[in-house]
Structure 1
């Protein structure tokens, strides 16, 4: 019998070990998108791990609405399948299980940029520029194919954590994307996406286009380097929408050489913004700096300024049972200070571990020493000192006894 779980409303949903469409064995939940839950699954036919997105169930929906959900899922798969780029998650299949659509995608051990920022607060200018450049490279090809993403944000950008491509950037979740020649399946006047990364014209009700993708990318890179979106954060979506519609971004304080590029990407007028290909080139030049090449920026994994692999990309040791890390991989190493959380206690410095290596959880003896360190050979242990005194006393006693014997 297929493993199932039951919701409060009595609706039965697939759980771990459920076999989707007779082929994809569910293993564990790894995330969620605007349309449904994402599972890690095993493709029984090709014997490989895949990411399977469970689209919102059509149970209890009217025939018209259910058909609309299925069409939307098929459309997402069809749109994503058009894009084959190293910086975009690949779409493998659209499977129907008991009439319910499932999207089957490339599985990538990774962390989202949103997760990374939650741990580090911000990233450096060159790293932020390289992330933006690689996303722009994929999206430039998507725009050429007539695909508009409509929801570029930190949560939809993944950074690989394992293998020789650790540090590679991938854009994912084309769930609300559309092709230019596709019939829209959303109701007129309904805005879909994430308000904090909207372009001003979208916040005012205009249809998203290629220029709004460029703006969303600019807002994402701004967030990576500044630590918050261009218009700040607000729990009230309507208040945030009004801020976005006015197109008055908060001043930049950490962007450095990226600031002029971000101002171009965040241009209020969509007609004056650069194309996605131009945005890619602008970002790549900042990431390359004076010594690198833009080709290397676009084709190489993220690295530190000295050429090493960032600690937050490396796979870290498995935590002990007493440490709760949630459902995501822990991020290694302390990041820039974040006012939202107390700073970690200082640690003794040591060399950065190579990519893929597990950092020992035990401190070296040098890190356990407190106070001034003694010079080798300059101190004597208490035990040795005590034995020396006893020996001296014994010799003195023997001499005294010998003297008394001679005198008597």
Structure 2
């Protein structure tokens, strides 16, 4: 069947989605769609709306598949009602195009925080991990596997009374166990730097895989890079992950034994998400705190009450290059790299930029990849305000001098006119 001819209007600011959600500004994007800050005209509140990849130009079967994916993502996210998970409000159809309507949280991702700070203190990282684990315990109980836990998908609220609130987001590639598979058999998606070893070998992600990814994420918070380091070549990185030999820890301190449990190579020997939550909670609480304080408290610098990221001066990040992989010979367990053409990447840590999202399939294997330009204007996956470029003092001085001479010229002209 030939591609359908689309007549869809490209959305922009002030565009009204489904007669209800007025777009305000673009605040994020990626291979799975663009995120906008919008105003819910009916309930008079700000929301984040995700424009799923357009169906324009697709065959009818492909377009229907995109719509089903959007409905699936909305259905999965709607199953969760947890203070540490971004809430799903609605799935809207606008001119046949699916949009996901989510809770709006002015925030920064942990990836953005790490870009500015490099590392976090072990107890801070443990508390963040414990709250994410608490949300994922509920997700696993509902039969949902996240499949892409990483620093870029953990948000920490900024400003107001919610400053310091932790939320896990982006269930876009999640899968409910009883859901119908909408992709070809064996397709696995995620970010390789945070893959569990069994996933790097081509196994289907399960609850134990989420536990490993959470461990890899916390490892990155305290050590400054993922457990298997940084490698521009994604295939080489996958080899390292599949072998399950993590780099020795140098900054984790007393948190190291907990992380080693989460990063257990064998999925059958790994703790459950509930056990991981309890271990992280106990470490974060220490001898003075309680479980409830860790799981419900806002992330703050000990003794100051100030959110950790509020003390950072560098609030921006830049997108690193995704170098294409060409002509690589894949190992028996290596997944195929499937790039998303024309996608905009949400900024993550420097380490994550060397780990594009992968889709693994059974053999035979082929390799394609995407590359993206560096030094883009960063977009906040936490739906926060876009980064603004401040006016420098030298620019202000130049403007002042120009205005002075312009006023002086006007005065001279007036004086000459009066003398005549």
Which TM bucket (shorter chain)?
Answer: 0.7 to 0.9
Task: Give distance in 2, aligned partners of 1:10 and 1:63.
Answer: 14
Could you tell me which runs of 5 or more consecutive residues in structure 1 were left unpaired when the two chains were aligned: 1-8, 329-337, 339-360, 362-408
- 2:153 aligns with one of 156, 168, 190: 156
Partner of 1:301: 298
Map 1:3-402 onto structure 2 (within 5 A).
13-313=10-310
Tell me, yes or no, if the aligned pair for 1:113 and 1:158 is still in contact at 8 Å: yes
Residue 119 of structure 2 aligns to a residue in which SS? coil
Q: Deviation of residue 165 (structure 1)?
A: 2.0
Q: Deviation of residue 242 (structure 1)?
A: 1.0
Q: Deviation of residue 235 (structure 1)?
A: 2.0
Residue 32 of structure 1 aligns to a residue in which SS? strand
TM-score (norm 2): 0.72
CA-to-aligned-CA distance 1:29-69 (integer Å, 9 cap, x gap) = 11124410111000000010000001001111111111111
Task: Give distance in 1, aligned partners of 2:292 and 2:78.
Answer: 25
Task: Give distance in 1, aligned partners of 2:78 and 2:318.
Answer: 29
Task: Give distance in 1, aligned partners of 2:263 and 2:180.
Answer: 29
Tell me, yes or no, if the aligned pair for 2:34 and 2:50 is still in contact at 8 Å: yes
Residue 120 of structure 2 aligns to a residue in which SS? coil
- Structure 1 residues 327 and 221, CA gap change in structure 2 (3 angstroms): closer
- Structure 1 residues 325 and 273, CA gap change in structure 2 (3 angstroms): closer
Task: Give distance in 2, aligned partners of 1:106 and 1:238.
Answer: 36
Tell me, yes or no, if the aligned pair for 2:301 and 2:308 is still in contact at 8 Å: no
Task: Give distance in 2, aligned partners of 1:39 and 1:251.
Answer: 41
Task: Give distance in 1, aligned partners of 2:9 and 2:232.
Answer: 32
Q: Deviation of residue 327 (structure 1)?
A: 10
TM-score (norm 1): 0.74
Tell me, yes or no, if the aligned pair for 2:149 and 2:217 is still in contact at 8 Å: yes
- How many residue pairs align between the two structures? 316
Task: Give distance in 2, aligned partners of 1:104 and 1:265.
Answer: 33
Task: Give distance in 2, aligned partners of 1:211 and 1:103.
Answer: 28
Residue 268 of structure 1 aligns to a residue in which SS? coil
Q: Deviation of residue 191 (structure 1)?
A: 2.6
Task: Give distance in 2, aligned partners of 1:279 and 1:315.
Answer: 29
- Structure 1 residues 275 and 96, CA gap change in structure 2 (3 angstroms): same
Residue 93 of structure 1 aligns to a residue in which SS? strand
Residue 289 of structure 2 aligns to a residue in which SS? coil
Tell me, yes or no, if the aligned pair for 2:262 and 2:271 is still in contact at 8 Å: yes
- Structure 1 residues 280 and 307, CA gap change in structure 2 (3 angstroms): farther
Q: Deviation of residue 313 (structure 1)?
A: 3.6
Highest RCO, 1 vs 2 (Cα 8 Å, sep ≥ 6): 2
Stretches of 4+ aligned residues off by more than 3 angstroms: 9-12, 313-316, 324-328
Q: Deviation of residue 248 (structure 1)?
A: 0.6
Q: Which has the larger radius of gyration?
A: 1
Q: How big is the alpha-carbon RMSD for the aligned residues of Structure 1 and Structure 2?
A: 2.3
Tell me, yes or no, if the aligned pair for 1:128 and 1:221 is still in contact at 8 Å: yes
Task: Give distance in 1, aligned partners of 2:24 and 2:316.
Answer: 19
Q: Deviation of residue 311 (structure 1)?
A: 4.6
Task: Give distance in 2, aligned partners of 1:57 and 1:234.
Answer: 33
Task: Give distance in 2, aligned partners of 1:113 and 1:179.
Answer: 26
